[in-house]
Amino acid sequence: MARYIFITGGVVSSLGKGLASAALGALLQARGFSVRLRKLDPYLNVDPGTMSPFEHGEVFVTDDGAETDLDLGHYERFTGVAARKTDSVSSGRIYSNVLEKERRGDYLGKTIQVIPHVTNEIKDFIEIGSDEVDFMLCEIGGTVGDIEGLPFFEAIRQFSQDKPRGQCIFMHLTLLPYIKASGELKTKPTQHSVKELRSIGIAPDILVCRSEGPIPVKEREKLALFCNVRPDSVIAAQDLGTIYDAPLAYHREGLDQAVLDAFQISPAPKPDLRKWEDVSDRIHNAEGEVNVAIVGKYTQLEDAYKSIAEALTHGGMANRVKVRVEWVDAELFDREDPAPHLSGFNAILVPGGFGERGTEGKIKAAEFARTRKVPYLGICLGMQMAVIEAARHTANLTDAGSEEFDHEAGKKRFTPVVYHLKEWVQGNHKVERKVEDDKGGTMRLGAYDAVLTQGSKVAEVYGNTLIDERHRHRYEVDIKYREKLEEVGMCFSGMSPDGRLPEIVEWTDHPWFIGVQFHPELKSKPFDPHPLFKDFVRAAKEVSRLV
């Protein structure tokens, strides 16, 4: 039976609860425990699949096809435990389950209420898989005091009462603002936040306080006294230069020890932190730098491409170089020649995306990379654009395009080299979709196998000819054009096992030009960089040596 750690936040949002949870998960693993992390989000969307990346950042896709919050990406990157559908839930999902049960008559005519029906649904979710791990870490999204968060706080309060004593603890993250004029760290907002938490029946066992600098003893004692926690359970979370220092930093601050003490686990198993020491060493002792341009649409909000940025960092760590990323708005190339903007880079990455805006710019970026022999990694839409570029400029299909853009414009303008996929095979099942299906859940989502061509670049990169990677898309490169494109040198080097869906393309006469229909970035880890990112950065490093 798992022990539960509930992680809540107060004072302000964006304190790095996800990161603190992920780092704690990694530290518990370092002490030999198995962990699982999950996120409970109070918003009313059923899942983040339909939320704008501008607003909510990237959608993290799991192997089993769930579209989840980007915090699950942190969890997976830090613990290496593959996130699952049952690791993420929102109020929207909880309410829709409750209402579905009500319609089915499962509640036998009872009046349906937040307590107990909604809270029970939340508790059932928390309980899923509890016999599989030593620790279940549950992060509650939002900030204590938010109206929509209340059912979740009530549910975790009840949950801790339902369990035997000592099986659940609460960890609360807050902010200690620094007032320059008086040179003081202020504890009052934290006191109020804990008061708010206690008013709904939750007494935190551990306080994690974000602050610019160290917490002086006086403030630490004050926090302990006024918030009713032990002084050694007040953990400072100082701003860090890199997120990958978080496990070691939290360990130095005594977070994992405080957690084990709170559970009265004694003697505590000694931690083995060598993995994180190596990660930290690779980040801090890079021996050079490569410059990568990411030509995308959601460039104002870095979180929109969170996993890509992290995977590039991992690729850099594997090659002992720092990867400097510059975000280039693809729409710029609608007006301007890409050459002066892209010339200074050692590699170009075109990420995934939806909708027509910016796609002509991405096509130009792919053309620039192909003709100038600059390493290119096209991910999902970035692969589709590379294929359209090849079709238009090398295979004489001058009006090649994607059905996605024709659908958007409501008229037919392109030869659909990329078409709307309505039927495909997943394992032993056939999946079917209609154009009019609702926006959520009409995509090819989650892990699918791909078979790689022996002797191809990707087979060499992966060191394997059978892979599985995560997908999230509606459109697909049409196999009809394979022959035409292979004639001009674009090799379809990865295919779905039934041979119908192109998964990977590469230019054979190019030092490094690969387009993939899936999202390799989602599986990269600092201690286990994804082979494509590792080799992409290696290729960029080679280019940087030449210039």
* Cβ 35 to ligand GLN shortest distance, Å: 29
* Cβ 354 to ligand GLN shortest distance, Å: 4
| Nearest CB to ligand GLN, comparing residues 353 and 531 | 353
- Calculate the CA dihedral of residues 481, 484, 485, 489 and round it to 10 degrees: 160
Residue 154 annotated in active site: no
Q: Nearest to ligand GLN by Cβ — which residue? A: 352
Q: Could you give the CA distance from residue 203 to residue 329 in angstroms, rounded to a whole number?
A: 47
| Nearest CB to ligand GLN, comparing residues 154 and 476 | 476
| Burial of 291: CB neighbours in 10 Å, binned 0-12, 13-18, 19+ | middle
| Nearest CB to ligand GLN, comparing residues 474 and 541 | 474
Residue 168 annotated in active site: no
* Cβ 307 to ligand GLN shortest distance, Å: 12
Residue 380 annotated in active site: yes
Q: 524: which DSSP letter?
A: -
Residue 42 and residue 177 in contact, taking contact as beta carbons nearer than 8 Å: no
Q: Which residues contact 274 (CB under 8 A, 6 or more apart)?
A: none
Backbone angles phi, psi at 520, to 5 degrees: -65, -25
Which parts of this chain interact with ligand GLN (CB under 6 A)? 352-354, 380-381, 404, 472-475
* Cβ 523 to ligand GLN shortest distance, Å: 15
Q: Please give the angle made by the CA atoms of 209, 211 and 217, to the nearest 5 degrees.
A: 75
Q: Could you give the CA distance from residue 151 to residue 148 in angstroms, rounded to a whole number?
A: 7
Q: Could you give the CA distance from residue 23 to residue 5 in angstroms, rounded to a whole number?
A: 13
Q: Could you give the CA distance from residue 287 to residue 317 in angstroms, rounded to a whole number?
A: 10
CA atoms within 13 A on the CB side of 310: 29
DSSP 186-250: --HHHHHHHHHHHHTT---SEEEEEESSPPPHHHHHHHHHHHT--GGGEEEEE--SSGGGHHHHH
| Nearest CB to ligand GLN, comparing residues 209 and 350 | 350
Q: Which residues contact 134 (CB under 8 A, 6 or more apart)?
A: 2, 3, 28, 33, 34, 35
| Nearest CB to ligand GLN, comparing residues 4 and 419 | 419
- Calculate the CA dihedral of residues 79, 85, 88, 91 and round it to 10 degrees: 180
Q: 497: which DSSP letter?
A: T
* Cβ 361 to ligand GLN shortest distance, Å: 15
| Nearest CB to ligand GLN, comparing residues 346 and 384 | 384
- Calculate the CA dihedral of residues 520, 525, 530, 533 and round it to 10 degrees: 90
Catalytic residue among 168, 209, 380, 491: 380
* Cβ 511 to ligand GLN shortest distance, Å: 24
* Cβ 346 to ligand GLN shortest distance, Å: 23
> Of 300, 489, 292, whose CA–CA distance to 389 is shortest?
489
Catalytic residue among 74, 314, 471, 519: 519
36 DSSP β-pair partners = 136
* Cβ 353 to ligand GLN shortest distance, Å: 5
Q: Please give the angle made by the CA atoms of 449, 391 and 447, to the nearest 5 degrees.
A: 15
* Cβ 453 to ligand GLN shortest distance, Å: 23
| Nearest CB to ligand GLN, comparing residues 49 and 352 | 352
> Of 478, 301, 255, 499, whose CA–CA distance to 384 is shortest?
478
CA distances from 424 to 58, 436, 441, 496 (A): 25, 17, 14, 10
| Nearest CB to ligand GLN, comparing residues 56 and 473 | 473
Catalytic residues: 380, 519, 521
